Structure 1
Amino acid sequence: MKEARRSGERRLVRALVRRLPLLGTLIGLGFAVWLVATNDLGAVAAAFGRIGVAGFVGVTLVRALVLIVCGIAWARILDGLAPAPASACLILRFVREGINVLLPVASVGGEVLGARLLTFWGVAGSLAAASVLADLLFQVGTLALFAGLGAGLLSQIEGAQAAELADWTLRVLAVAALAVTAFFALQRTGIVRHVEDRIAALGRRFVREAEARPEPTRRIQGALDTVWGAGRRGRLAQSCALHAVAWLLGAAEVLVVLTCIGIDHIGLTDILVIEALSQAIKAAAFLVPSGLGVQEGGLVLVCGLFGIDPGTAIALSLARRVPDVVLGLPSLLVWQNLEARRDGVRPTAPTCDRP
């Protein structure tokens, strides 16, 4: 009875975990609809219409440039370790983004599939996973630094609301710094090897003849040790710097949209604050796919500090979702094409003719 009860509890937990992204999607979508409906729809439509084709093309080109920079950053981590060319990382970086922004998965779902797809280029699965973990560390770490820059700039602006938001952001970043440090320590101190050993031990208890199977020669911890090995600091520093550049380039999306709408009282410092804090708010809600509702609410909050009305802020958010679709849909098609080609070349098991 106890075993049956435990089995039922495990199935319930797995079902809840699988449904978390879908639940987050529904909650985020509902919040986004409420946010749009409770504001002046005419103002949102008017601001969105003023962006024009040139504005949407500009935002899409900026996003493509950002993803290219991020793809190069990922390739620098793998440089000298894997046979995959840099072009594979560039292609898969677009695929990772497309999965994260268009499918009902948490914002790390694209990273999991990206690591798997990288094995199609002959990269060992453990090394592919290790490269993604390192890439995520640099991405999150540089975002924290970027958000800290935004909070620092915001603290120089007069007003109780700006000071309160800056203080709240700095406190959250202090917690984020601890999380990033723990994530780095997880990769560097061998904890992953301990986790793998525990999982292997559990597997031997529940899988028949598991003891007879050879242990993998390249586990994730070993691959992480290789990624962080001596003599690779230059490549890792380049990857980290490229991620920092990518976050700064993202501010150009805000600049393009607000310029097209006709907002001319916003300076470069204000744009950096808007981009940094809105990205930090969106990242904090990573369980909500594509930050539905969170991105819109964050922009309304931050833009309001600079005299930008909610209708314009929502239009800015909607405009920034255009590249999600324009670049995301082809990326999903590339993903499906890669899967189809992989299945097409996979050898079939030999069959024996019956006499």
Structure 2
Amino acid sequence: MTGDRVSWKSRAGRAVLRRLPLFGTLIGLGLAVWLVATNDLGAVAAAFGRIGVAGFAGVTLVRALVIVLCGIAWARILDGLSPAPAAACLILRFVREGINVLLPVASVGGEVVGARLLTFWGVAGSLAAASVLADLLFQVGTLGLFAGLGAGLLTRVEGAQAAELANWTLRTLAVAGLVITAFFALQRTGVVRVIEDRVAALGRRFVRETEARPEPSQRIQGALDAVWAAGRRGHLAQSCLLHALAWLLGAAEIAVVLACIGIDHVSVSEILVIEALSQAIKAAAFLVPSGLGVQEGGLVLVCGLFGIDAGTAIALSLARRVPDVVLGLPALLVWQNLEARRANVRPATPT
């Protein structure tokens, strides 16, 4: 009976987790509909139309460069530890991005798939998972620093709303800093090993003596220890710097779109504020797939501080979703091709 209750609770928990992205999607759609309904749709269409093909091409090129930088950052983490070439990390970084922005999954769904696909290049599953965990830490950590830069620049802007947003951002970043520190400690202090032991012990409790017990898998904690080894600090520093550069480069997307629309009164520092805070708001709502509605709302809020109307801000957000489709769809096709090729070379199960 105890085993049945545990099994039922486990199934119920998995069902709730599977539905979280659906709930996030519904919330995001509701927010997006509300934004459209409460703003001038004609102004949005007019601003979007002024961007033009050259503007969309420029935004897509910038996004591709950002993803390439992130792919190289991931490859630096794995350099010297795995047989996978850097090209594999570049390809899979596009796949990770495509899954996160186009599929109804939370914004870490692509990381799970990316770690699995990396094993197709002969990388141990434990090392693939450890590399993604380290990569996520650098990505989130550098976003926190970037958001802090944006909040610092925002304190120089006059107005009660700007001061309130800057203070809220700094308070939120203080809490986020504790979470990031805990995430780092989780990887460095051996807590993962304890969790692995507990999970393995729990599994053994419900395996009948007559059943074959699975062989112990490679330890993720051991792979994390290899990733964070003292002799690899140079590789890790390069990865961190590449992620920081990627966040800064992302601001060029905003610059390209605003220039095409004809907005020329926004300075470089203001563009950095818009990018930093809108990305931070989107990241905070990571359970909403692709930040649907959240990205638009964040841009409307932050752009309004610099005299950019809501219609232009929504058009800016829509323009930034063009690379999601242009780069994401081919990435999903690459994913399916990798899965199909893997299935074709898998040895047949003996009958």
Which range, TM-score by smaller chain? over 0.9
Cα distance in 1 for partners of 2:183, 2:220 equals 15
Structure 2 residue matching 1:263: 3-state secondary structure: coil
Q: TM-score, normalised on structure 2?
A: 0.97
Inter-partner Cα distance in structure 1 for 2:346 and 2:28: 40
1:76 — aligned with what? 76
Give distance in 2, aligned partners of 1:123 and 1:298: 39
Partner letter of residue 215 of structure 1? P
Q: Output the CA distance in 2 between the equivalents of 1:307 and 1:161.
A: 13
CA drift at 1:6: 5.1
Q: Is the 8 A contact 1:94 1:328 kept in 2?
A: yes
Residue in structure 2 matched with residue 18 of structure 1 by the alignment: 18
TM-score normalized with structure 1 length: 0.96
Q: What is the match of residue 60 of structure 2?
A: 60
Q: In the alignment, what sits opposite 2:271? A: 271
Between 1:332-341 and 1:25-34, the stretch displaced more is 25-34
**Partner deviation per Cα, 1:11-56 (whole Å, 9 max, x = no partner):** 3222111111011111101211210121000000000000000000
Matching residue of 1:339: 339
Does the CA contact (< 8 Å) of 1:204 and 1:211 recur in 2?
no
Specify the alignment match of 1:261 in structure 2.
261
Q: Is the 8 A contact 2:207 2:213 kept in 1?
A: no
Distance 2:222 2:5 in 1: 38
Counterpart AA for 1:51: I
Moved over 3 A (4+): 1-10, 208-214
Alpha-carbon distance in structure 1 between the residues aligned to 2:6 and 2:199: 18
Q: Which runs of 5+ in 1 are unaligned?
A: none
Task: Give the 5 Å matches for 1:105-124.
Answer: 105-124=105-124
In the TM superposition, residue 212 of structure 1 has moved relative to its aligned partner by 4.9
Identity %: 83
CA distance in 1, matches of 2:306, 2:76: 38
Work out the CA distance in 1 between the residues paired with 2:6 and 2:191: 27
The change in CA–CA distance for 1:75 and 1:3 in structure 2 (over 3 A counts) is closer
Q: Is the 8 A contact 2:47 2:311 kept in 1?
A: yes
Contact 1:115 / 1:129 at 8 angstroms: preserved in 2?
yes
Distance 1:293 1:215 in 2: 44
Match of 2:49, as an amino acid?
Answer: G
Aligned length: 350
What are the residue-to-residue correspondences of 1:127-138 with 2, within 5 Å? 127-138=127-138
Separation in 2 of the partners of 1:332 and 1:107?
A: 15
Aligned CA RMSD, in angstroms, stands at 1.3
1:230-258 CA-to-partner distances (Å, cap 9, x unmatched) read 21000000000000000000000000000
Match in the other structure for 1:153: 153
SS of 2:230's partner is coil
Cα distance between partner residues in 2 of 1:348 and 1:213: 20
Alignment-derived partner of residue 198 in structure 1: 198
Deviation for aligned residue 1:5? 5.2
| 2:290 maps to 1:295 | no
